[in-house]
Structure formats: structure tokens, C-alpha cells
Chains A and B, each alone.
Chain A
Amino acid sequence: MNVLIVEDERSLSHEMEIYLSRQNFNCDVAFNGRSASDKIHANSYDFVLLDLGLPDMDGMELLRESKKSGIESAFIVLTARGEVEDKIAGLDLGADDYISKPFSLAELHSRMQAILRRKHGLKSNVMRIHDFEIDIQNRTVHCNGQSINLTKKEFDLLHYLALHKNRVLTRIQLTEHIWGDVLEDDYESNYIDVHVKNLRKKLSAHGSVEWFETVRGVGYRVNA
């Protein structure tokens, strides 16, 4: 998978590059619109992560121009503006997704996975975690042929943890994924813990959930 990171803030593109390289993406970086445009036309990328606030041009313009010349890469728009209008405009211009800064790299990764599934059907729509089968397409979970009834949030939680299996996800990362931008400043709460507790209870009724680990003081991990 080839990714072009278009971001003028070098420290930020550097961190994205480190993370995505670990996920086996081949990363290329452009710090301005001109060089990004050249690279997009010269190479074939699966993903273009596009910052809107570029020093030499508006990222939106680069997106329009690329789509016009038939570039097939999936575009994810990154912006600090967080404007709903930007989001709509970006998606209208053919962006595949939109994520506002500051974002979590795990969230970015899961968005990329979702696009891959949607666009190319590259990954199987069913994830296996021990005895449990997570059907992403139909949003269902089965264990030994038996369906487990999960709420929307419980499913999202399990799916997200499974996607990042063998890695600790912190409460903050999980909260951001599940709750998105609903403004809520109560982070001392055990919101996520409540969902995890309920999820574990439902899953354990069907099979062993030893793989569902609580990492004390940090968050949760799915070991597979």
C-alpha cells in the first residue's frame, strides 16, 4: 500500500509516517501543494492524506485538480479547521473521508481500513477473534454459530479493538472513536468502562473472553 502524506508541518507528517510504516504502508511525503501535485501525477498511491492548509495552495484545489485528471487514489482530507462546510465540500469533490486535527493515528488507520474495504474489498468482511466472528458488513457478531446481540456502541468498540489487535488502545482513543466530536469534557468518567463491562458480559455468555485484556491504568487490548 502506497501512501502520500501531504502535510507542511514536518513533525506531524513524520509521526504519521512512523505510524503508517509500522502498519506496512509505504509512505511518501510532500510538504507543499506543488510537490504533492507532481508526486500524485508521477506515482500511483493508494492513499493521499491531504492537509487543507498548505503554504502554496489550498488543499481543496489540489483535490479538485487531481480528481479532474482522473487520479484514482483514495483521498483523506486532514484539517485543523473542522468546518462542516469544508467537510461537505471535500466529500463533494470526491474525498473518501475527512478527519479533523488533532486526530488519533489509530483512528486514521481505521478510516483507511474502512476505505480499503469499501473501495477494493481487499480485506475479508469477517474478522476472527478466537471463537468470535465479527461481520463488519452486517455489523453482527457470532460465536459457534450463535448470534450475539450488541448495541451499536458495543459493536463499534469490539470492532475497533479487533482492528488494532495486540495493541493497547487507551480510553481516550476508544472514547474518541465511539463518541467522535460530541463535546463533552467529562473525561474522568468511566464511560468506556461501562461499555466494555457490558460487552464482556455479553461475549462471555458465549465463550471465553480471556483475550479481552484490561491494561491497568491505560485501557484495553484484544490479544489474538
Chain B
Amino acid sequence: MTIQVKFAVYNAVSKALIILAFMALLPLLVERIVYDHIDKRLVARSERVLLTVRKGSIADIVREQDCSFESYNILKEEFVAIYPITDPGRLTAGPQIRNESWSIEGENLQHRIIKRPFLYDNQMYELNIGEGISAIDDLKSIIQRFMLVMMLAVILISLFVDLGFVRLLIKPLNKIISSKLQPVPSPTSFNFTPVESSTTEFNQLDARINEMMHKLKDTFLIEKEFISNVSHELQTPISIIQNRLENIMIESNVSDEVMIKLSESQRTLNRMSRIIKALLLISKIENDQYLKQEKVRINELLDEVIEEVEERINERGLKLYKHFYDDFNYGPCNKTLLFTMIMNLVNNAIKYNRDGGSIMITSRIIQGKFQVEIKDTGIGMEKTELPSIFDRFKRLNKSKADGYGLGLPIVKTIAGFHHIDVQVDSEPETGTVFTLVF
């Protein structure tokens, strides 16, 4: 979920909650205000009635027969009633205001009623003044509806405003993400242009990312330069020793034993030279010193590799199965490098196979992507080993017995250079399968 969406959701939910709470409280509030108002009026009216009663004779208003008085307006919204209190238990200390259902001409209506006892002529009376409150409910629902519409409008407007503002606010962040946090093939191709923003935090973030990438780039370049320089520097002494060995070997007085030792030294020296060449190759590819200008039919390339190793496959009694279901005209690429990459994988399949085993090379399109699969029935590898087989430094740490040289790191580097995905799966004693996804 993006920040923008989160912000919007948060805003909408929080506002909706506030409004819900407000809507829930609103009837109580309205009621409170209206009752306050009515109560004041009722008290004032009761004062006025009592005043009238005291000034004149109660007989003026109380009917003779039952000593009570009742009067109401035409809509039965208001009434005044006076009753003598015969039962002292009903006597209240002072005026009381409460909601009560009052029956007027057989019709029960909710009223707000003030009840006020008073003494007149040694007789206790109770004054009741009521005001109809059915209109209040209508008022409440009208206000509620009005508020609801208002609030919804406010929420909607503020939602859009929020969205717009948040979008504007996090624009630099999005730019940082799109320009700085996308995967780059190497730190050298990182975009160091600062992202402009008036937000301090974003400026800091951008500056820190740039700083980190600068450090990374420096380290990366130093490492590559180091490997490249060391490799170069080592080539010359190796050349000298190699040539000296050759010169010693063609001298006529060299014994057989010395000859064997010399040829072993030559082999060791050659291994060293190969490692250095491999490191140089990797560092040159990583430094973009190779061109990508050719187009290659992958199946043709596979055939070329197979031709190179055919005799060796036969010699080891291996069976080679070719399944070229689809072909791919791949480019721009570097054919020599691609050849090396596939060669290394096929070599691997030969080297780590068992006698009489087989190698299967398949090329086909799966889910719109061209894939080459090189599968062997060899000794395989433990799953835990798989993540490190492409790591040049880990490879060099391994002893010859369980090491795989630099063939696979080279494969990875060449694949990376061409943006080809290399996948590996392996099962000990069953075999290994490498898949190149173009």
C-alpha cells in the first residue's frame, strides 16, 4: 500500500469516526438545548400562573365541582392544569420537570411538564404546565440529516484535498524511489543527480543515499581496479617463468625425472595463469569493456559448443540429447562471451557427470521467454551449496577437491552483462540443471 493511499484511508476513516461520534451525540445535544429552553419557559409560565392565582381568587379558575382546572390550546401542544392534592404522598417538595404522556381529550401525547405544588386557602394544589415535545424529534432528525450531508461533503472535499496534498508532499520521495532505488547493473551506473525537495527529511534521505552509493561505487571501483591491476602485473612474471621452463625443457641434458617435474610446474603455472585470466575476464566484463554488437542464433551457438566438446563427451561414454524446440535470434550480444558462458556450463555437465551418464540440452520458449536448459546426470550438489557456486570469492576459497574453479562465476558475470537470468537446481547423486532465461 502506498503512503498516499494510506494517508487517504487514514484521513477518511478518522474523519468518519469523528462524524459518527458527533452524529451519535447530536440528538442528546439537541435535546439538551431544546429542553433547557423549554424548561426556562415552563418555569416562567408557572411563575406567571401562580402570580395570577395569588392575586385573584382560585375560585376564578378552579371549577366548583371538582376544584380543578384544565386548559389547552387548539393543537394540544400546550396545556395548563391545576389539581387539588388529596393524597399527601403525592406531594413533591418543589417544582419538578419531566417528560410525561398527558391525556387530553382521550389523546395521549408526550409533553414536557412542570409540576409545581402550591398552598391556597389551606388546600394543596398541583400546577401542571405542559409543552408538546413531538416536534423535537422532527427537529432532531432534520438537524441530523442536514449534518450528515454537510459532513459527507466535508469528508469528500477534504479527502481530495488530502490526496492532492499528500501527492505533492511525497512527490520527491517517489522520485527518489524511481531514480535511486531501482536496481542498477553496477554502482557506476547509479544516478547521482540530487532530487529537489523543500522537505528536509527527503533532502536528507536523498543525500544519504547518494553518499552511500558514492562509497559503494568507490569501493567497487577500487576492487575492480585492484583485481585488474594485480592480474596485469602477474601476467609478466608468469610469462617469464613459463618461457624459462620451456627453455629449460628443450635443453638436451635434462633427465626424465626433471622433465616430469618441469611439466608439472608448467601445469601449475598454467592453472595460475588461467585463474588470473578468469579474474581479468570477469573484471573486464564488469567494467563494460566488451562490446555487445552481434546477433546470434542460440541454437547455432549451442551446436558450435557441442562440436567443440563432442569428442570428450564420447570419450567419457556420455550420451548427449539435444531438444531444440524453439530458436532465438538473440542480440545485441557478444558472441565470444556467450560461447564461453555456454561452454562453461556444458563443460561442467561433462566434468561432474558419471561415466555412462547423459547430458540434455533443451531450448524452448516457456511463458513467452526463451530458455536454454543444460541438464546432467552427474554428482549434483547439496541445496545449501547452490547459493555460493556463482560467487568468485567463495569459489577461490574452496580446495580443488570440492571447488569448481571460476567457470560458474564467469557464467554469472557474462549472463549479468547480457541481462540473462541463470537458474540452478541440483540434487546430490542425481544431477544438476542450469537454466538460462533470455
Q: Which residues of A does B touch, CB under 8 Å?
A: 9, 11-12, 15-16, 18-19, 22, 80-85, 101-106, 151, 153, 167-168, 170-173, 176, 181-187, 189-191, 194-195, 198, 215-219
Contact = CB atoms under 8 A, between A and B. Distances in A.
B311 A19 contact: no
Nearest to B277: A183
Contact of B242 (A102, A185, A215): A102
A194 B242 contact: no
B243 A105 contact: yes
Contact of A183 (B232, B238, B278): B278
Given A80-B236, A102-B235, A194 B250 contact: no
Given A12-B240, A15-B244, A172-B270, A82 B277 contact: yes
A19 B244 CA distance: 9
Interface stretch (B11-19, B111-119, B121-129, B260-268): B260-268
A92 to B, nearest CB: 15
Nearest to A184: B347
Interface in B215-250: 232, 235-236, 238-240, 242-244, 246-247, 249-250
Contacts of B246: 15, 19, 104-106, 173
A102 B273 contact: yes
Contacts of B284: 83
Nearest to B257: A217
Contacts of B249: 168, 170
Please indicate which of the listed interface residues B243, B249, B274, B277 has the most CB atoms of chain A within 10 Å of its own CB: B243
Interface stretch (B168-176, B179-187, B403-411): B403-411
B256 to A, nearest CB: 8
A8 to B, nearest CB: 10
Contacts of A172: 263, 266-267, 270
B292 to A, nearest CB: 12
A19 B247 contact: yes
Chain B interface mostly: helix
Contacts, number: 124
Given A185-B274, A186-B351, A189-B312, 8 more contacts: A19-B243, A80-B239, A84-B336, A102-B238, A170-B266, A185-B406, A194-B312, A217-B264
Nearest to A153: B311
Contact of A15 (B243, B266, B311, B340): B243
B271 interface: yes
A104 B240 CA distance: 10
B289 A18 contact: no
Contacts of A181: 277
B42 interface: no
A35 to B, nearest CB: 20
A183 B410 contact: yes
30 contacts: A15-B243, A15-B244, A15-B246, A80-B235, A84-B336, A101-B235, A101-B238, A102-B235, A102-B238, A102-B243, A171-B263, A172-B263, A172-B266, A172-B267, A183-B278, A183-B281, A183-B344, A183-B410, A184-B274, A184-B344, A184-B407, A185-B271, A185-B406, A185-B407, A187-B274, A190-B315, A198-B311, A216-B256, A217-B263, A218-B259
Nearest to A217: B260
Contact of B315 (A83, A194, A217): A194
B47 interface: no
